[in-house]
Amino acid sequence: MQVIVASKNPVKVNAVKLGFEQMLSDQKFDFEGIGVPSGVSDQPMSNLETYNGAFNRAKNAMSKVPSADYWVGIEGGIEMQEKDMGAFAWIVILSSTQSGKARTGTFFLPPKISSLVQGGMELGDADDIVFQQTNSKQNAGAVGLLTNNCMDRTSLYLSGIILALIPFKNVELY
């Protein structure tokens, strides 16, 4: 079965692979990451905008590779909670007959990073500046940098992917 991940980011492709292999272990999959537009800001700034980005990515991947069996959109976003900036991601998984969606857990960003993002910078670029990294969003990301890799982007996304696969694991209930 072919799974199209609506991103070429190796962290996202690997998280999808791990999630499908854990949840649907009785099936064999081929995974491919492709670039498609999200239709939202480069740095989504609300829960709804982030969800729409994940949904749009999955739909655009479906349009680009209609012969696949599954299409997965992952979009990371941020949202202000009073004075604090929370970071999270939405995952949308589509098939020709089913859909699943889930949001990851939320973690809060330090004021220095939050200030850079509020100033118009993408979270990954702000992380690179504050932590003196290069291309951290294709590695551990903010969550990995802030947890000293106790949790990285792959494991953060993995929980959401597993939850989004619930309808595919329990077809008779959905």
pLDDT at 57: 98
Q: What is the mean pLDDT of residues 47-56?
A: 98
- Arithmetic mean of pLDDT over the chain: 96
In a domain, 118, yes or no: no
- The CATH number of the domain where 67 resides is what? 3.90.950.10
pLDDT at 80: 96
* Residue 90 C-beta-side C-alpha neighbours within 13 Å: 24
Q: What is the mean pLDDT of residues 48-57?
A: 98
pLDDT at 137: 76
Does the structure show a pLDDT above 90 at 104? yes
How is residue 71 written in tokens?
């299409």
Q: Nearest 5°: phi and psi at 92?
A: -125, 130
pLDDT at 136: 82
145 vs 133: CA distance, rounded Å: 10
Domain boundaries, position 9: 2-106+151-173
55 vs 72: CA distance, rounded Å: 8
Does the structure show a pLDDT above 90 at 114? yes
In a domain, 130, yes or no: no
In a domain, 146, yes or no: no
37 vs 39: CA distance, rounded Å: 6
pLDDT at 94: 98
In a domain, 57, yes or no: yes
In a domain, 117, yes or no: no
pLDDT at 39: 97
Q: What is the mean pLDDT of residues 15-34?
A: 98
Q: Nearest 5°: phi and psi at 88?
A: -165, 180
Task: Decide: 29 and 168 in contact? Cβ < 8 Å.
Answer: no
pLDDT at 32: 98
pLDDT at 102: 98
In a domain, 120, yes or no: no
In a domain, 84, yes or no: yes
115-164 pLDDT tens trace: 999 999 999 999 999 999 888 877 788 999 999 999 999 999 999 999 99
Q: Smallest Cα–Cα separation from 109: which of 99, 124, 95?
A: 124
24 vs 18: CA distance, rounded Å: 10
Task: Provide the number of structural domains found in the chain.
Answer: 1
pLDDT at 140: 84
58-79 pLDDT tens trace: 999 999 999 999 999 999 999 9
In a domain, 112, yes or no: no
81-92 pLDDT tens trace: 999 999 999 999
How is residue 117 written in tokens?
């993002």
